[in-house]
Each structure stands twice: as structure tokens, then as C-alpha cells.
Amino acid sequence: MTGRHLHNLCALLGQDLDVERARDEYLASLDADDGLAVLLIPRDEILAAATARPPVARCDRCGARLSRKRRHRCGRCGLRQT
């Protein structure tokens, strides 16, 4: 459940990375139990999740990195990705 809250908080963070503003905005839409769960998420964890790079897509067969443009087909082994 914390993962869902963390994802939603990261979506509310702006360019200024103001965690408290995003947390207040998100807390307004929650009940007491969910609000407590959000308050227990450390500020550093929210910032780390917001600034983390998305995972790199890899080929299922050979493990090669897939380009962003041609994610549907591996350049190394030619496997079509589903």
C-alpha cells in the first residue's frame, strides 16, 4: 500500500520538489488510516523515488538494453518483445 502512496506523491511533486506541499495536497484526499501511512513515509524516501531513473528495458532472451525508439525488437538477437 505504501508503494501506491509513494507513486501518487511523486506524481504531485513539481519541479521544485516541495515534499511538504505535495504531501498536504495528497493528504486532503485520504481518510485517517491512509493519511497516517503517508505521514510515516520519510521525506528522503519520497525524494529518492521522485528523482530515480526509470528502469532500463532489457531483452527477454539475451538481456541486451533495448533502445527507447525500437523497444519492440532487440538489436542484438532480433527477438520481438511482447
Structure confidence by residue, pLDDT tens digits, 57-77: 888 888 888 887 777 888 889
Q: What is the pTM of this model?
A: 0.62
Beta bridge pairs of residue 38: none
Rg of the chain over Cα atoms, rounded to whole angstroms, equals 18
Question: 9: number of CA atoms within 13 Å, CB side?
Answer: 33
* Distance set, CA 18 to CA 3, 8, 12, 52 (Å): 19, 14, 9, 16
Render pLDDT for 43-61 as a digit per residue (tens, 0 to 9): 999 999 888 877 788 888 8
Strands, E assignment, 1-82: none
